[in-house]
Structure 1
Amino acid sequence: MGETKKQGPTEVDEKGKFIRQKNRFSTTFGSEAGELPVEAGKYRLLWAAVCPWAHRSVIVRSVLGLEDVISLGTASPMRPNIDRVDWEFSLDKNGVDPVLGIKYISEVYLQADAKYEGRPTVPVIVDIAEKKAVNNDYFRLTNHFETAWKPFHKENAPELYPEHLREEIDALSDIIFHEVNNGVYKCGFARSQEAYEEAYDVLFIRLDELEKRLSTHRFLFGDYITDSDVRLYATLVRFDVAYYAAFKTNRNRIVDFPNLWGYLRDLYQTPGFGDTTDFEAIKIHYHLSNHIANDDQKGPNNILPKGPDTSIFNSKHDREALSGKEEKFLIQ
């Protein structure tokens, strides 16, 4: 039997620009009426190791010690060969998530809204008892973990979203989202030369500015890792192994930026970052699997690139000299 034809792209405008869909489930966590209750064991976080949006929520979950409070389900890096864009649990026994008993992530979306027609995305927080999606707001999910879930943080958990910096963190994170996190997708999923080149130029102008910023700052806001660093890391760590070739973001690799490269290694070697990074899954997805705007295409000749050498992520970075501190986290 031949491959099933996928649905065509819907997130591209008339000029060929990629326009990411809005999140459907964005109810916040808290104790107020209408908010999602903060309870240990109530929710499961579904992710795919390939996805930068999902990866940052898993990093924060790990750094803050929420692993025993919010369980984790992992989808395959390969998209299923079905008539829609989805994620599947083919890595698990019998091809189903062991806690939710579902085969596809779309099932929790349809359980929450039987008329849901958008792309089922990761990360998504699922109410385990009801098996329904309750929050897929990747933009704010890490902030929820950092604030509403504070009663369940491990002892001496770091402060990733300090109150006195929140306005600045939000402002920088918004720029990083539009120009870097989503910027690489705007390059990779552009359907016109004009849209691609515009996104390409914006991306590298911003990377040049971040390179300069990190020449005098160990991290984006100084001596300690914040939520903004988590967001930038998730894109940078995928850049040379995936985006550079697959998304044609090929002016420079991250290893060609002295400060960004040292900064990336500094973060990679921090618990919660490198140990949640799966380079093999990332390469498989971006080079062999289908995506969302070119969802009926696959990598050139279905060949998985042999490089680059990712062992260099463990090489010495000397970023401590910028702060004079060994610790990377601000502990309240």
Structure 2
Amino acid sequence: CQMARSALDEVTDTGAFDRTPSTFRSFVSRDASARFPAVAGRYHLYVSYACPWASRCLAYLKLKGLDHAISFSSVKPIFERTRESDDHLGWVFPASAGEVPGADPDPFNGAKSVRDLYEIASTSYTGKPTVPVLWDKQLKTVVNNESSEIIRMLNSEFNGIAENPGLDLNPAHLQASIDEVNGLVYDAINNGVYKCGFAKKQGPYDE
């Protein structure tokens, strides 16, 4: 199979880092007839405690009181080789519990890396294997890997099984302000780290 992409593949000819949009964009719905219905025990959230986007999903999971209904686990906090046959670096699972504090082996698929999960979901996938991953244990696929969409699902679609259904972390009357702050934080801080770290020329770095 082809080697998976990494952040290094997102550096343009101008030397600037240009993040590729997330590719798995399905939605869990409170509608019981939906392809991905909001039922307890069906989904698993893969995170890295080192990733701010994954961490906000975990925060929503805990605050809404959904950790009894949606299981979660963390990968190791630093990138490692995802396969012996190529040089790709990415998120990997520890080989055994206790190897790395807070990180756990993949509990459902026996995956050695997040890359493996994406290839289970789509054998033709050659994009960047990222976290967070909202995983459907029944269909063995990635439901969604865009954190801004995952948190909205956790906030509203699972209220029927949430311990804190009345807690609205994304109130409609504050939506415009939330989006504005998120845009500033995303561009200048969360993604700004990548734009600095992966810049290959001085101009993009200074920007």
For normalisation by structure 1, the TM-score amounts to 0.53
> Higher helix fraction: Structure 1 or Structure 2?
1
Inter-CA distance 125–133: structure 2 relative to 1 (3 Å threshold): same
Residue in 2 aligned with 1:152?
Answer: 161
Mapped contact 1:86–1:120 kept (Cα < 8 A): yes
Mapped contact 2:32–2:38 kept (Cα < 8 A): no
Q: Deviations over 1:97-144 (max 9, x none)?
A: 123322211222112211100111000011113332121012221111
Shift of 1:35: 5.3
Long gaps (5+) in structure 2? none
Larger Rg: 1
Q: Which amino acid aligns with 1:142?
A: I
Inter-CA distance 67–23: structure 2 relative to 1 (3 Å threshold): same
Shift of 1:180: 2.2
Task: Specify which structure has the bigger relative contact order, considering alpha-carbon pairs within 8 angstroms and separated by 6 or more residues.
Answer: 2
Residue in 2 aligned with 1:53?
Answer: 53
Inter-CA distance 176–33: structure 2 relative to 1 (3 Å threshold): farther
Mapped contact 2:6–2:128 kept (Cα < 8 A): no
Residue in 1 aligned with 2:144?
Answer: 135
- State percent identity of aligned pairs: 32
- The residue matched to 1:158 in structure 2 has which SS? coil
Residue in 2 aligned with 1:64?
Answer: 64
Which residue, out of 176, 200, 207, partners 2:185? 176
Inter-CA distance 108–153: structure 2 relative to 1 (3 Å threshold): same
Mapped contact 1:27–1:35 kept (Cα < 8 A): no
Shift of 1:33: 6.8
Q: How many residues in Structure 1 have an aligned counterpart in Structure 2?
A: 193
- The residue matched to 1:76 in structure 2 has which SS? coil
Shift of 1:156: 6.5
Residue in 1 aligned with 2:76?
Answer: 76
Which residue, out of 86, 89, 105, partners 2:93? 89
RMSD over aligned CA atoms reads 2.4
Shift of 1:9: 2.0
Distance 1:32 1:169 in 2: 29
Q: Deviations over 1:182-213 (max 9, x none)?
A: 12221122111111111xxxxxxxxxxxxxxx
For normalisation by structure 2, the TM-score amounts to 0.83
Q: Kindly report structure 1 stretches of 4+ aligned residues shifted beyond 4 Å.
A: 32-35
- The residue matched to 2:90 in structure 1 has which SS? coil
Mapped contact 1:80–1:88 kept (Cα < 8 A): yes
Distance 1:7 1:185 in 2: 12
> Higher strand fraction: Structure 1 or Structure 2?
2
Mapped contact 1:92–1:98 kept (Cα < 8 A): no
Mapped contact 1:45–1:126 kept (Cα < 8 A): yes
Mapped contact 2:134–2:150 kept (Cα < 8 A): no
Distance 2:6 2:182 in 1: 32
Q: Deviations over 1:52-76 (max 9, x none)?
A: 1101101111111111111012111
Mapped contact 2:186–2:192 kept (Cα < 8 A): yes
Distance 2:69 2:34 in 1: 21
